Structure 1
Amino acid sequence: MDYPGLYPKLTTFPKLGNPEVTPNKTVRFPCTIDYPKRESDVSFEVTWTVDGHELRDPLTHRAVVSVLTGVKRTAYLNVDKLQGNLDKYLRCNVTSFHTNTPGVRSDPIPSNPYFVGFKVSTDSVVVDEKGDKKTITIESTLPIPCNALSQYDCKFPIEIHQGKDPTDLSWKSCTYDLKKDPIDGKYRTTITVKATRYFITDHDKVHDIAFEPLFSLMNPVWIGYNISHIHVKTLDADVTDCTSSGDPHLRGFTHKKSELAH
C-alpha cells in the first residue's frame, strides 16, 4: 500500500546515465536519484529491469538490488550482470523509504530506458540489380574497454557467417572492424551490399546476412551473443537479348519491334 508523506517523495524520475568505463577497465551504468543530500535519514532501494522483467545475477540467479543510505544518490550496475540480456531495454527502478521505517515504502519509480547491445541501422534492405549499393551501419551501445596506446588503434573484428554464397548479392569483405569513434567513443562499422547483375532472369530473392559470435570481445557480457541477422532482398533486373538484322530494326525476347537511332 502507498503511504504518501510517510516516505521520501521523489519529484523527478531516476536518471539512467550512459555506460562508463572505470579506471580498472570495467563498464558500469549509473542510476542517479535527484533528492536533497541534506536529508540523510532516507534510503533508496534500486532494482533493475530488462524489457520490463526483473534482472537477475547470471551466477546467483538472484535479483540485482542496491540500497543507498545517507547521502548516497547513485547506484551502479556492472555490465557483467547483463549477460544473456543484450538487445533489450534496461531501466533502473527506485523505491524510497525512511531508514527507521523500512516497512513503509513508495511504489517503484522507473527511469528512462537504455538499449544495450548492438544497434543495426536497418534490419532489412532492398537492393536492385540496376540500382546503387546500400550501406548498413552496426554500432555497439556499450563501451568496449581497449588497452591500445592510441584510441585510433582500438578496433575489434566482426565476421559474416560463411554459408552458401548468394550469386546475386555481394559485399566488400567477410571481416569488418568495429572502430572506436574518437568523438563519441562508440564502436561502429559499415557494411556495403550490392546486387550483382548476371544478365539472366533469376527472379527476386531474399537473403540473410548472419554473423559469427563475438569471440574477440573479452567481457563476459558478450558470451553467446550474436549480432542480429540482416534481411536483404535483391530485385531482379529485366533482361533483353537483342539482335539487329539488315534493316534498322531491333528484336528482343519480348519480340517488340523498336527503331534504331540513325
Structure 2
Amino acid sequence: MQFLAEVQTISSIHHINLVRLIGFCAEKSHRLLVYEYMPKRSLDRWIYRRHDNSPLDWSTRCKIITHIAKGLSYLHEECTKRIAHLDVKPQNILLDDNFNAKLSDFGLCKLIDRDTSQVVTRMRGTPGYLAPEWLTSQITEKADVYSFGVVVMEIICARKNLDTAGSEESIHLITLVEEKVNSDQLVDLIDKNSTDMQAHKQDAIQMMKLAMWCLQTDYKRRPNMSEVVGVLEGNMNADTNISNNFVATSPIFFGIAGNVSYSSPPLVSDVSGPR
C-alpha cells in the first residue's frame, strides 16, 4: 500500500523542489521506482562528514534549507488536498550538481482534506524527527514543520540529531539546543569544521532561531511552511515569542502511540533513527 501511495502521490504533483518520478515497476513482488537522477545524492552525505566531502558553505546551506521549505510549502498549501510528507529527514532530500534540493520518498505521506483540522493515523516516520503530537496519533502537516526544524539544526550544526558517538550529554541534538539557547551559547553548536560557517555566526544563529520556531512542542505555535519561506526570503520576521522547550517530556504524551510499543516511555525526539 505504501508503494502504491507513493506512486499515486508523486505522479500527481509537480514542483521544482520535489523529485520527479520517471517510471515504476509493480510486477508481483518486484517493485521499483525510477526517479530523476540526482548526482550529489542525499543530503546526509554532505552534512554528517561521513564521506570526506568538503563542508558546505553558508550560502549553499541556505539554498538547501530554502528549497526544502518551498517543497513542503507546496505540499501543504498549494495542492488540492494538503499532503503531509511525514518522513522529512536528510536521507530523503536529494541534491543535483548545483546543490539544488528536492524532497523524495513519499511512501509515508498522508492526504488531509482542506476542511479537516487533523487526522488520526498510526505512528509513521523516522525516530528523532517525530513531532510530539505523534504520540497522540493525531497529526497535521505541522508534523513536517517540526521535522524541518530538526533538519535545519542538523544542517547548521553538521551532525546527526541522534549521535551516540559523542558524550552522553550531547547524544540528542535538540536537547542540546534547548540547553544552549537557555544559556545563550547557541554559537557553540555551529559547524566548527567550516571557516565560512564560523564567518557567518550571526546569520547561522538567526537560522537556528527560525528552526526553533518550527520546533515548538505545541503544533499550533509552529509557523506554516509559507511563513518559513517568507522569513528565508526576507519578506517577514520569525516569531521571537516562542518557548525554548523543544522536547516533550510530559507523561500525557506516553502510552498512547497505537501500534508502536517501547520498553520504556521515550522522549518524543528519541522515537526514531534512520531506517
TM-score scaled to structure 2, two decimals? 0.19
User: Quick one: higher RCO (CA 8 Å, sep 6+), 1 or 2?
Assistant: 2
Higher helix share: 2
Higher strand share: 1
Larger radius of gyration: 1
TM-score scaled to structure 1, two decimals? 0.19
